[in-house]
Amino acid sequence: MSTQTPGRVVVVGGGMVAHKFADELCRTSPDGDWTLTVIGDEPSAPYDRVHLSEYFDGRSPEALVMDQTPWSDPRVTLVIGDAVDRLDLDQRAVVTRSGRVEPYDNLVLATGSWAWTPRTEGTDLPGVFSYRTMADVVGLREWIALRSEKLGRPLSGAVVGGGVLGLEAAAALQKLGASATVVEFADRLMNVQLDAGGGEALRVLITDMGIDVRTATGATRLGPAGDGPVATMDLSDGSTIPADVVVFSTGIRPRDRLARESGLAIGDRGGVVVGPTCRTSDTAVWAIGECASFENEATGLVAPGNAMAEVVVDQLFGGRKTYERFPEGTKLKGVGIDAASFGDIFALTPGALEVSFSDPVAKTYKKLVVSDDAQTLLGGVFVGDIALYSSLRPLLDRPLGADPSAFLAPEGGGGLPSVDLPDDVVVCSCANVTAGTVRDAVTHQGCMNVGDVKACTKAGTVCGSCVPLLTKIVNTTLEKNGIAVSRAMCEHFEMGRAELFELVRHEGLRTFTEVIGAHGTGRGCAVCKPVVASILSSLGFGHVLEREHAAIQDTNDHVLANMQKDGTYSVVPRVPGGEITPERLMVLGEVAQEFGLHTRITGAQRIAMFGARIDQLPDIWKRLVDAGFESGQAYGKSLRAVKSCVGQAWCRFGVQDSVGMAVKIEMRYRGLRSPHKFKIGVSGCARECAEARGKDVGVIATEKGWNVYVGGNGGFTPRHADLLAEDLDDDGLIRVIDRFLAFYIRSADRLQRTAPWVAEYPGGIPELRKVLVDDVLGIGAELDASMAEHVESYEDEWRATLDDPEKLRRFVSFVNAPDQHDPDLAYTSERGQVRPARPGEKADNNPVIARHLEVRK
């Protein structure tokens, strides 16, 4: 690179691409003689807009703020909350709304885009939002809280636009307690990213979430409630839906006003015209990200913007790097449903072939688009199961290396593609990092794990979808370099959990002191202590609150309850199969009323009570145990619940007694400690109302018996379970589940759920079937015996605790003042119940709060 210096650089815009530019400039020239001023109109430092929806999962605005390192460089100045109002190209200066004048030698426009809203009557009414900025999501949350409290009911929400952000917005409405209807003018959801088959599969999944979907229609008018805020939405099909809150997510437009008014060239479809160097029609001005129009098209993703930022930094120092459009991929996130696509999804390439697989029972759809000789990968669509997305996307426009149909087979017959990708394949498109760069970081930069590679290359630090592939490349490179990939649990144990489990089991070790004395060093830590505690519990070696066992438990296990955000605890009794008598139901209501607890029905068909102080837990559980309830293990790494439909007993489609089987399964595996929590579902027919294939173990009734699926889960990375065995009788079903859980508990890694354990098992489901069903290793009887021992030795943890004065001594708010309670607990009311007051909220002075405080004295 030449000694050319960029001089005074000014960036207009304070988003993710501006942050990338600042970071790249600092990294490229750590000691150079230049200055950088970044001016953003939003009131905060650049934040992670890609994960904006995580705000509704409890992630604070501060947690979304991006790495602050670039702003600590003395050559860099970050200006926030002051929009640039004018560009003076002749004087080479920008003027902000506050009157600040900032001269430049090089100006970079990173103004991004704005949320476009169609001309619909009523869009200016209170309660109508866009879904683009932090202010948008904060305002949305505040509106729903205030409006629902005023109306005294949950709000009816509507989202105009069925694209990625629209679906994220609909999921956000649900998380905030409102209903959601998605209105999409096109004939399918995500119509730009999904074909007809993928769109229909996504519709089914979204509808299953309780979100209403209206396609091939549009919003024509928003109606107010009298002279007040929005209340209804008229649709182009003639219908009207209630809409107390409306979110528009109908596309974006480049923010190019400053460029237009300054006389810079603007693309036919908007955006500042740039060439391969990202230079505009003024040689001192550059444009990057969503405001730039390259080849008459403006991108709407962060990855191309980051690539443009790298190009401009290189150009500023005399480099020759240029920007080339690369095929964009899209991944749905923040909704709880998997959907992703990349490349030529509509098979527009001449001669392109489409290979697809649809599973209506599993509710998955996969399609690959390949060249006419079936050799070159041109595109892919995945709905319901996107495990192949991160591995196949880097192979776009390259040889696939296998029969396309093999990748889409129900059990992954072709397996994942090799991670031995060519060096020039882009692994992380967000940071534009190639496989070669990752290997170089390991081989020549001293990176010894994925964390090191992330810090060195920035790969995997934006959307995170490439991390599984990144991990495999890092580990493979380490092994090729003769470096053993560490399986150590922590600095106190050189082996992983599975190896330690076998040692403890064979040697009969009973305490943490014995385990670390025999196979570890030091005194242990927050990583290994809970692991050993879990192993000892899985093997039935004592109650979790026995003297030494108690000291090594994870946070919630210390008091057999889940701690909540205000320091109180939840109480979740077991309700086997979701079946409960009226008498026990009344007991729960009486307990909640007596102790002033917030109640809700969980997705696992249980009743949870929130807001119990630690000193109240024994009294609450005494009432529940006396009524025949047991601990629901909501706090432990163990069986949470077995969800069921009503099955043959009530449903006209049921072919087996799913409730009876669910109760039998839950009572068999209750209290079973494992590497991670696990859930089971039992459906009485193929209609799958218990959503069994979204569970760690899923049981689905057939006319001949039961099919059992394993390795599924919901949560942050949903995955459908794979078929392990079919048409089993009752005893055969229990035997297969026994062996699966016992084998998982033995061989899984620390905090590894069944889904990744199954996915990573050598040979996958076919090999697991040989081990668990065909017993090729001859360990079936041993696995059967270990589960039988668990069933025989089970005791309810709360009943045992109530019978032991020593264990009860830990249930006090303050050890040195056992009769005192936390004075900082503050509450407000919402929908007729109490909840913890948020920072800045004052506790309500109303009958609900008054009664709650009275019963808690």
Same domain for 697 and 758?
yes
pLDDT reading at 328 higher than 80: no
In this predicted structure, what is the pLDDT of residue 716? 58
Dist. CA 335–CA 188, nearest whole Å: 17
Q: Provide the token pair at 28.
A: 């490229």
pLDDT band at 122 (very low <50, low <70, confident <90, very high): very high
Shared-domain flag, residues 259 and 235: no
- If 0-12 CB within 10 Å is exposed, 13-18 middle and 19+ buried, where does residue 131 land? buried
Give the C-alpha separation, 433 to 20, whole Å: 14
Q: Which residue would you say has higher pLDDT here, 700 or 336?
A: 700
Q: Is residue 574's pLDDT more than 80?
A: yes
Which range is least confidently modeled, 97-101, 378-382, 400-404, 780-784? Answer: 400-404
Contact of 284 with 105, CB cutoff 8 Å? yes
Whether residue 687 is predicted with pLDDT greater than 50 in this model: the reply is yes
Nearest to 251 by CA among 342, 162, 137: 162
Residue where a domain stops, chosen among 194, 222, 248: 248
Q: How confident is the model at residue 446 (pLDDT cuts 50, 70, 90)?
A: confident
Concatenate the DSSP letters of all residues of 331-385 into one string.
Answer: E--SSSS-EEEEE-TT--STT-EEEEEEETTTTEEEEEEE-TTS-BEEEEEEES-
User: How large a percentage of the chain has pLDDT more than 70?
Assistant: 93
CATH number at residue 408: 3.30.390
In a domain, 849, yes or no: no
- Identify whether residues 29 and 133 lie together within a single domain: no
Q: Is 523 exposed, middle or buried (0-12, 13-18, 19+ CB in 10 A)?
A: exposed
Is residue 438 a part of any domain in this protein?
no
Query: Could you tell me if 205 and 304 lie in one domain?
Result: no
Integer Cα distance of 809 and 811 in angstroms: 6
Whether 45 is covered by a domain: the verdict is yes
Do 86 and 36 sit in the same domain of this protein?
Answer: yes
Question: Could you count the other beta carbons within 10 Å of the beta carbon of residue 322?
Answer: 12
According to DSSP, residue 131 is labeled: S
| End-of-domain residue from the set 746, 773, 794 | 794
Asked if residues 608 and 634 have their Cβ atoms less than 8 Å apart, the reply is yes
CA atoms within 13 A on the CB side of 533: 28
In a domain? residue 304: yes
Instruction: Sort strands 240-242 and 230-235 into parallel, antiparallel or unpaired.
Output: antiparallel
Q: What is the pLDDT of residue 248?
A: 96
Determine the Cα–Cα distance for residues 198 and 342; give it in Å rounded to an integer: 13
Task: Give the C-alpha separation, 292 to 105, whole Å.
Answer: 20
Work out the pLDDT band at 236, boundaries 50, 70, 90: very high
> What is the mean pLDDT of the segment spanning 412-436?
69
Q: Residue 418: is its pLDDT beyond 80?
A: no
Among candidates 199, 51, 223, which has minimal Cα distance to 137?
51
The count of residues in the chain is: 857
Helix, strand, coil tally for the chain in percent (to 5): 35, 20, 45
- Domain of 719, CATH number, reads 3.30.413.10
The reply to whether 696 and 790 lie within a common domain is yes
Rounded average pLDDT over 325-337: 78
Same domain for 348 and 409? Answer: yes
Task: Report the sign of the C-alpha dihedral through residues 50, 54, 56, 60, in that order.
Answer: negative
Q: Which pLDDT score is estimated for 416?
A: 47
Q: What is the largest CA-CA distance in the chain?
A: 85
Q: pLDDT at position 706, please?
A: 96
Cα–Cα distances in Å, from 835 out to 67, 612, 792? 33, 12, 41
pLDDT surpassing 90 at residue 289:
yes
CA dist 579 and 561 (Å) reads 22
For 127-148, what is the mean pLDDT?
A: 94
Predicted confidence at residue 834, as pLDDT, reads 76
> Kind and range of the H or E element at 834?
strand 833-836
Please indicate if the annotation marks 651 as binding a ligand.
yes
Distance CA 610, CA 566 (A): 11
466 is in an annotated binding site: no
336 compared with 301, residue with greater pLDDT: 301
Q: Tell me: the pLDDT tens digits for 760-771?
A: 887 778 889 999
Helices vs. strands in the chain: H and E counts, helices first: 26, 38
Give the rounded percent of residues in the chain with a pLDDT score beyond 90.
55
Whether the pLDDT of residue 818 is over 80: the answer is no
Where is mean pLDDT largest: 14-23, 405-414, 766-775?
A: 14-23
Average pLDDT over residues 613-641: 92
Q: Say which CATH number the domain at 243 has.
A: 3.50.50.60
| Domain ranges, residue 232 | 128-248
Residues 783 and 645 in one domain: yes
Q: Is 732 or 470 the better-scoring residue by pLDDT? A: 732
Which ranges of 681-779 does DSSP label H, i.e. alpha helix? 730-747, 754-760, 764-772
Give the model's pLDDT for residue 88.
Answer: 95
| Position 19 in a domain | yes
207 vs 181: CA distance, rounded Å: 10
Q: Is residue 75 part of a domain?
A: yes
How far apart CA 709 and CA 339 sit, in angstroms, is 22
Q: Are residues 299 and 363 in the same domain?
A: no
Own/partner contacts of 651-656, CB < 8 Å, gap of 24 or more, are 651/684, 651/685, 651/689, 653/684, 653/685, 653/687, 654/684, 654/685, 654/701, 655/684, 655/685, 655/701, 655/702, 655/703, 656/684, 656/685, 656/701, 656/702, 656/705, 656/706
In angstroms, rounded to a whole number, what is the distance separating the alpha carbons of residues 329 and 379? Answer: 9
Q: How far is CA 12 from CA 42, 255, 285, 462, 532, in A?
A: 12, 11, 11, 22, 53
DSSP 150: H
Q: How far apart are the first and last CA of the chain?
A: 72
Residue at which a domain ends, from 361, 383, 417: 417
Angle between helices 730-747 and 497-507 (to 10 degrees): 110
Asked if 719 and 705 touch (Cβ cutoff 8 Å), the reply is no
Residue 288 near residue 21 (C-beta atoms within 8 A)? yes
For residue 630, what is the enclosing H or E element? none
Strand 156-160 with 245-248, pairing: parallel
Give the confidence band of 413 by pLDDT, cuts at 50, 70, 90: very low
Q: Report yes or no on 806 lying in a domain.
A: no
Computed over every residue of the chain, the mean pLDDT equals 88
Whether the Cβ atoms of residue 634 and residue 598 lie closer than 8 Å to each other: no
Domain-embedded: residue 3: no
For the segment 570-598, the average pLDDT, to the nearest whole number, is 93
Token pair in block for residue 732 = 């055969």
The Cα 79–Cα 37 span in angstroms is: 7
Count other C-beta atoms under 10 Å from residue 605's C-beta.
19
Exposed, middle or buried: residue 98 (CB in 10 Å: 0-12, 13-18, 19+)?
exposed
- Cα atoms in the 13 Å half-sphere on the side-chain side of 616: 22
For residues 727 and 790, state if they share a domain: yes
What are 359-412's pLDDT values in tens digits?
887 788 999 999 999 899 999 999 988 878 877 888 888 888 778 887 886 443
Tell whether residue 689 is among the known ligand binding residues: yes
Q: Are residues 106 and 18 in the same domain?
A: yes
Q: What's the total number of domains in the chain? A: 5
Question: Do the annotations mark residue 291 as ligand-binding?
Answer: no
Residues 664 and 756 in one domain: yes
Which residue in 19, 618, 625, 730 sits closest to 305, CA to CA?
A: 19
pTM over 0.75: no
Instruction: Tell me the per-residue pLDDT of 590-620, one tens digit each, with 9 for 90 and over.
Output: 999 999 899 999 888 899 999 998 889 999 9
| Weakest mean pLDDT among 240-244, 474-478, 579-583 | 474-478
| 157 or 60, higher pLDDT | 157
Sign for the CA dihedral angle at 12, 18, 23, 24 comes to: negative
